[in-house]
Amino acid sequence: MMQPRTTSGAGRAVTRRTIGYRMKMLAPAGVAGELFINRELSLLAFNRRVLAQAEDESMPLLERLKFLCIVSSNLDEFFEVRVASLKESIRANPDLIGPDGLTLRQQFALVCREVHDIVAKQYRVLQHVLMPALAEQDIHFIRRIHWNDEQKAWVREFFFRELAPILTPIGLDPSHPFPRVLNKSLNFVVELDGRDAFGRESRIAIVQAPRILPRVILMPREISGASFGFVFLSSILHAHVDELFNGMSVNGCYQFRVTRDTDLSVDEEEMKDLRVALQGELVHRQFGNAVRLEVADNTPAHIIEFLLEQFELAPEDLYRVDGPVNLVRLMNVPDKVDRPDLKFPPFIPSEPKEFKLVPDIFSAIRHGDILLHHPFQSFSPVIELLQAAASDPHVVAIKMTVYRTGTDSALMEALIAAARAGKEVTAVVELMARFDEEANINWAAKLEEVGAHVVYGVVGYKTHAKMLMIVRRESDRLRRYVHLGTGNYHPRTTKLYTDFGLFSCNESICADVNDVFLQLTGLGHASELKRLWQSPFTMFDRLALAINNEINIAKAGRPASIIAKMNSLLEPKVIDLLYKASQAGVKIHLIIRGVCALRPGVPGLSENINVRSVIGRFLEHTRVWYFHNDKQEDLYLASADWMARNLFGRIEVAFPILDNKVKRRVIREGLRPYLVDNVRAWEMEPDGSYRRKTARAGKERSAQQTLLAELST
């Protein structure tokens, strides 16, 4: 399932296997390629919907700036992962045809055209919409050509105090070849005339902006003359770059940024310790193959040609931009502007009332399953459960999966405290959580130091399931408590992502969770789970069974329906089943935030399928699967999307909601508001485009706003 690749290193070809899962989608037999939307184009369509939030005047102004930055962040990862993978696949088999009917070369050409259009629009929104609107609020980005004498003096002092001491200009000559440019770093290519102190005549120098410094600096109010006046770091360096080349003439200074392939790979045949092998690879992430070059729009053609040659890129990999080459670094501007009226209003997540009626959290869970709906409800009960377990003398063991948890985590500190207290602590740490590898390696080391059992799951299968199990001695028995979630154990993202978490001590669910942990830490055949669906073993088969059941019910003339909410829908075999369900008369509502390869509303194929995407204040992250099942209403929450990697290449769990009260809550909060949203919802057309829903005045219904009003305080 994992594709081998050849990389060069130390003068020899080395066959390596990519640990990051890059599975090629294959269409089911008999399904025509034109029935599928291209994955990359669908992902770019999602970014168009995000970009639309930056244009939306109903959004607070500083939040619109953040959405603009989110698009840049998304595109960075798109190039680091998706475009890098596409380029690699083209090198191996350029004429390979995907389930969408496109060759890899055709995909790449369409992707380039679409991204260039998105980026051009993004900078138009910045320069002609957001910056003028910010200026009206006395928030200014002061251009170098507009600096007065007092501002120039302040900039000069800042340059010599904060910037010059840490700059390292590299003059290019035979002893100074083109430097290794870090992934996504801000750099400047400087054109020079003259000879230096050693008689060297260099025409080109490279200067890298220090990563430690912000890309936008807030000027003192008395200097800027504005309530909030910002100056770009690039402008400061441009103004004083000649100070770095004493006696030389600077003919031009142009900013550029290169994006690289950030995939990590190890030699599985030689690997004995995944953590050690991965640590060795992390240092190379910043220097993978270049996949994109961004330059300022004033960069002359001969400089662009020089840079493209250095990075072995083609003209289609070039992006000329009208403004800063890294808009992601504008994300911290709203934090520096004290204007609450230009931001989303604050809210306080509520605490479930179940915890207020009993003396401790364990008693609350024994009374019945408890649902948490983030970010509308607080994540703190999860932290409190683990902290209580760490200090409770009756708790004997704790097991937890760690996918993303951050560099500063109260949960990890609680696990460490539990291990120090002598409890049996087992942490299944996923070292290959993309971009969180270093943090997870560090936590793994800290846990091992205090005697915790640390395992890294199964090589080749990311452990993406979100599970916490606590074993507690009560009277004459051991009782298990579990927390299962659709999102990560990351306190920061729980404030930004919508997710569900379930506390339970249901015996059958706890037994299944225990069996999954045994698979992850030990050896042996997979046991048959009673309640949970698990990838890569049973999840697809159970999902197919549930869809086929709705098909049979519809064919029998009874009402049949499926409602599914998730991040992405890509697996062709699932899409094929959904098409068959639509043709049988099953009513299907799909709430897909991001990528969707299914074509809805095609007569004779998918006229009974509706696809919508909700883009708002919070990132929609919940995975909820509903099957009507002759009014039994089977309901599952999951860590997985309907993608090949989730169903066949990762360790995931989907868990049923058995308590009827909790089930009603999930339907009421996780599905219904999204099906009627006419403020932040977009409906997908058969060709893969999206049409934004519009509401009549006084009839607006926003899912996220409704949930904020009902659940938060």
Q: Buried b / exposed e across 27-45, counting CB within 10 Å, b at 16+?
A: beeebeeebbbbbbbbbbb
List own/partner pairs for 598-602 with CB under 8 A and 24 or more apart: 598/36, 598/37, 598/569, 599/35, 599/36, 599/37, 599/686, 599/687, 599/688, 600/684, 600/685, 600/686, 601/685, 601/686, 602/35, 602/686
**Rounded Cα–Cα distance for residues 90 and 112 (Å):** 14
- For the chain, the residue count is 713
Asked whether residue 128 is marked as a ligand-binding residue, the answer is: no
Q: Which residues are bridge partners to 219 per DSSP?
A: 229
| Pairwise CA distance, residues 259 & 307, whole Å | 13
Reported in sequence order, the residue ranges of 312-461 that DSSP labels E, i.e. its strands, are 318-321, 370-374, 395-402, 424-429, 453-455
Task: Confirm whether residue 701 is marked as ligand binding.
Answer: no
Integer angstrom CA distances of residue 209 from 186, 329, 383, 402: 6, 13, 39, 35
**Of 343, 316, 280, 258, nearest in space to 66 by CA:** 343
Mention every residue, 6+ apart, whose C-beta is less than 8 A from residue 123.
321, 322, 323
Q: Which is the catalytic residue, given 464, 483, 490, 628?
A: 464
CB 396 within 8 A of CB 472: yes
**Contact indicator for 330, 218 with CB cutoff of 8 Å:** no
The β-bridge partners of 663 are none
Contacts of 1 (CB under 8 A, 6+ apart): 23, 460, 648, 649
Identify whether the C-beta of residue 47 lies closer than 8 Å to the C-beta of residue 615: no
* Selection from 82, 98, 113, 88 nearest residue 36 by Cα: 98
Residue 497 marked as a ligand binder: yes
Task: State the Rg of the chain over Cα.
Answer: 27
Is 589 among the catalytic positions? no
Tell the burial category of 443 from Cβ atoms under 10 Å away from its Cβ (0-12, 13-18, 19+). Answer: buried
Nearest-angstrom CA–CA distance, 67 and 58: 13
Contact 156, 185 (CB under 8 A): no
Kindly report each contact of residues 509-512 with a partner whose C-beta sits within 8 Å and lies 24 or more positions away, as own/partner: 509/482, 509/484, 509/655, 509/656, 509/658, 510/469, 510/480, 510/481, 510/482, 511/480
Single-letter residue type at 82: R
Q: State the DSSP string of 177-236.
A: PPP-PPTT--EEEEEEES--TT----SEEEEEPPTTS-SEEEEPHHHHSSSEEEEEHHHH
Confirm whether residue 481 is marked as ligand binding. no
CA distance 634 to 191: 67
**Cα separation of 360 and 385, whole Å?**
9
74 is in an annotated binding site: yes
Strand partners, 447: none
Amino acid, res. 677: D
Q: Which residues are annotated as a binding site for Mg(2+)?
A: 404, 434
Catalytically active residues are 464
Residue ranges of the binding site: 74, 404, 434, 497, 593, 621
Annotated binding-site residues for ATP read 74, 497, 593, 621
